[in-house]
Structure 1
Amino acid sequence: MITQLDVPLVAAPMAGGPTTPAMVIAAGWAGGLGFLAAGYQTVETMAAAIAEVRASGIPFGVNVFAPTPVPITAERYAQYAALMQREADRFEITLPTVPVDGDDDFDVKLGALLADPVPAVSFTFGLPSAAVITRLRRAGTFVAQTVTSAAEARAAADAGVDCVVAQAYTAGGHSGTFTPDRMPEPLPITDLVTVVSAEVKLPVIAAGGLSTESEVAAALAAGAAAAQLGTALLLAEEAGTSAIHQAALRDPARTETVLTHAFTGRPARALRNRFTDEYTSAAPLGYPALHFLTSPLRKAAAAAGDPELAHLWAGTGHRNIRRGGVGQIFGELSP
């Protein structure tokens, strides 16, 4: 599937709003491939998005969060919750006082994708069982897995996936690492593609901070079958990126990104702001507990137009991104 694209570009699944059905459709019309982001959505919302994209007649995929909880003790949660509540008080909101758990309705979403198969499904955060992958493939679905190291790629290949997405540390948003408490070696994307390609004989999609034609060309030259664009599409006309996020991406003063687990309890790359400065060192690991803890605060900050408390996901190439349609951006970045 990946090796047959007219344009070797993939629109990344960006959960929480940026990825829209219109973006996925536009990626397909441009000759590439787009993935819907099922993360944080209900199964009904996921199904509606699938129906919209399917009606266009283009190939597409759906990305699903694999259940990989990161546990947190009640004591560490309470300590961090107290810090977050001080911030929330200015918005007159109350945050969860005990950890909230959840698996993003994995089994329900998987059941829906098996009952009404889509062309492709990708997983991130963890590797589902070989039985799950086999069931999807038997349903005619192409299965891709996000990996961040050669070892993770080997595990994915052994589980039977069709393709791996090699995500470098430069990627915006959450790292797909299987071990959030032990981040993999920070290899440049070309080096990661090289070591993953040597480890598994599967198509490799390169992902992580790719924002220029030369970077895409280098990833393909290293052996990638396609390049995945995420941050590069955050200002696309079809994107659902929030106004506060778009403004921050266009702000010339925001030149740095940082890797932080302060927002959700899993490592993610974001534009540096007051929140990342003040809370990255204080934050414990703990997903999805910290996601549910800070979510009301982040939403309130966004509604108030305060970018200093918002999660402004962005890869290291964010200063290169521009406005335009997905088709135009694909055309500019395709070598």
Structure 2
Amino acid sequence: MDTLQKLLGIELPLIQAPLAGIQGHAMAIAVSNAGGLGSLPCAMLTPDALRKELELIRAGTSKPYNVNFFAHTPPTPDAAREAAWRSALAPYYREFGIDPDTIPAGAGRAPFSAEAAELLSEFKPAVVSFHFGLPDQVLLDRVRSWGAKVLCSATTVAEARWLEEQGVDAIIAQGIEAGGHRGFFLSHDLSTQLGTFALLPQIVRAVKVPVIAAGGIADAAGVAAAKVLGAAGVQIGTSYMLTPEAFTSAPHRAALKGPAADHTALTTLFTGGPARGIVNRLMRELGPLSSAAQVFPLATAAIAPLRSKAEAQGSGDFSPLWSGQNARGCKEIPSAQLTRELAAGWV
């Protein structure tokens, strides 16, 4: 058995990328039961919601699964920055008849905590993965106490080396093609961000732990290419976004299936952190990397009512239409079937 499968206790060297806001237990169960590693995105879940999802996963599969958390340092709220952000959005508030004074501030995404670790200890997931670096050593020790394997994203060779020094079990090499948030943590300089097939072999040469390729891999041929370049496995997200287990919104599904998916960009508008999504009206009009946006993850609150109003009208103009650069692998087939099709490239 190959290294990654043995390490994680899975049959196929394929991890379903955690898709926050787009999937929950149903996709994770389907992928794990198909032989891959299903993932549950946890950064946007309250403790009660997390418990419910974990109970459903436990009832739905006896196979290993992954729970994914953010490890960012929450910023100090800045009233002036929030006011400037809402001022930039003021024309849109007027367009939709929204009173900005009624919009509460808030983060919407929380980093891994002692409370989350305590909850997880009841379920003992086989794999715990992190984005934006790692939590502190006490929390990591808690995760490892029940035998969980620890994975984390790296977007540069320096990050990969740092993660290996911290004792992670495997590293996810996240190329710039990937949809959603950049997982960078040592530097936020976007000029350091490489494409998957440039980054992957560099990280493979630099570390001894298994390396998982992520970003722009959307079909069996891409999986095969990652293997040739030294990957121990792959992590794939965008391709799962049209499956019946995903609760991708109607505007988002339409964008993924149409010509709009050919145009993606990194944007800070929806959360404050650079994340890849399909270009929409807000990104075109404010600029995808706008300096007006609040810092991560505080930008979300001010956007939320605009998103709700627009989506109610069938529009994704104010929605984070997360997508990697290769949405052509999206298929409206069950996640289990898609998992097996993708893994067929690993021969």
The TM-score with structure 2 as length reference comes to: 0.89
Measured in 1, the distance between the counterparts of 2:75 and 2:190 equals 14
RMSD over equivalenced CA pairs, Å: 2.2
Which secondary structure state, in structure 2, belongs to the residue aligned with residue 106 of structure 1? Answer: coil
Which residues of 2 match residues 29-108 of structure 1 at below 5 A? Answer: 29-55=33-59, 56-69=61-74, 73-95=78-100, 100-101=106-107, 104=110, 106-107=112-113, 108=115
Deviation at 1:217, TM superposition (A): 0.9
From 321, 330, 335, the equivalent of 1:326 is: 335
User: What is the CA deviation profile of residues 296-324 of structure 1, one whole-angstrom value per residue up to 9, with x for unaligned ones?
Assistant: 32233222211122110000001332211
Change (3 A) 1:57 1:244: same
Q: Find the counterpart in structure 1 of residue 170 from structure 2.
A: 163
Could you tell me which runs of 5 or more consecutive residues in structure 1 were left unpaired when the two chains were aligned: none
Matched, 1:23 2:27: yes
Deviation at 1:283, TM superposition (A): 3.2
Q: Find the counterpart in structure 1 of residue 4 from structure 2.
A: 2
Percent same amino acid at aligned positions? 37
Q: Find the counterpart in structure 2 of residue 173 from structure 1.
A: 180
| One-letter amino acid of the structure 2 residue matched with residue 65 of structure 1 | F
Q: Find the counterpart in structure 1 of residue 158 from structure 2.
A: 151
Change (3 A) 1:154 1:72: farther
Which secondary structure state, in structure 2, belongs to the residue aligned with residue 178 of structure 1? Answer: coil
Deviation at 1:175, TM superposition (A): 0.9
User: What is the CA deviation profile of residues 62-83 of structure 1, one whole-angstrom value per residue up to 9, with x for unaligned ones?
Assistant: 0011133356754343222112
User: What is the CA deviation profile of residues 17-56 of structure 1, one whole-angstrom value per residue up to 9, with x for unaligned ones?
Assistant: x222111111112111111011211111111111111122
Measured in 1, the distance between the counterparts of 2:25 and 2:167 equals 28
From 198, 213, 224, the equivalent of 1:217 is: 224
Matched, 1:130 2:134: no
| One-letter amino acid of the structure 2 residue matched with residue 276 of structure 1 | M
Measured in 1, the distance between the counterparts of 2:87 and 2:16 equals 38
Measured in 2, the distance between the counterparts of 1:312 and 1:110 equals 30
Measured in 1, the distance between the counterparts of 2:262 and 2:107 equals 35
Matched, 1:202 2:209: yes
Matched, 1:226 2:233: yes
Change (3 A) 1:179 1:312: farther
Q: Find the counterpart in structure 1 of residue 120 from structure 2.
A: 113
Matched, 1:294 2:303: yes
Measured in 2, the distance between the counterparts of 1:70 and 1:209 equals 30
| One-letter amino acid of the structure 2 residue matched with residue 239 of structure 1 | A
Deviation at 1:290, TM superposition (A): 0.7
Deviation at 1:209, TM superposition (A): 1.6
| One-letter amino acid of the structure 1 residue matched with residue 27 of structure 2 | M
User: What is the CA deviation profile of residues 172-223 of structure 1, one whole-angstrom value per residue up to 9, with x for unaligned ones?
Assistant: 0111111573225232212212111222211111111211221111112211
Larger mean CA deviation between 42-51 and 107-116 belongs to 107-116
**Aligned residues, how many?**
334
Indicate if the aligned counterparts of 2:43 and 2:112 stay in contact, CA closer than 8 A.
no
Which secondary structure state, in structure 2, belongs to the residue aligned with residue 308 of structure 1? Answer: coil
Measured in 2, the distance between the counterparts of 1:46 and 1:325 equals 24
Indicate if the aligned counterparts of 2:176 and 2:215 stay in contact, CA closer than 8 A.
yes
Indicate if the aligned counterparts of 2:239 and 2:330 stay in contact, CA closer than 8 A.
yes
| One-letter amino acid of the structure 2 residue matched with residue 104 of structure 1 | A
Measured in 2, the distance between the counterparts of 1:196 and 1:209 equals 17
From 322, 332, 336, the equivalent of 1:313 is: 322
Larger mean CA deviation between 256-265 and 124-133 belongs to 124-133
Change (3 A) 1:276 1:102: closer
The TM-score with structure 1 as length reference comes to: 0.92
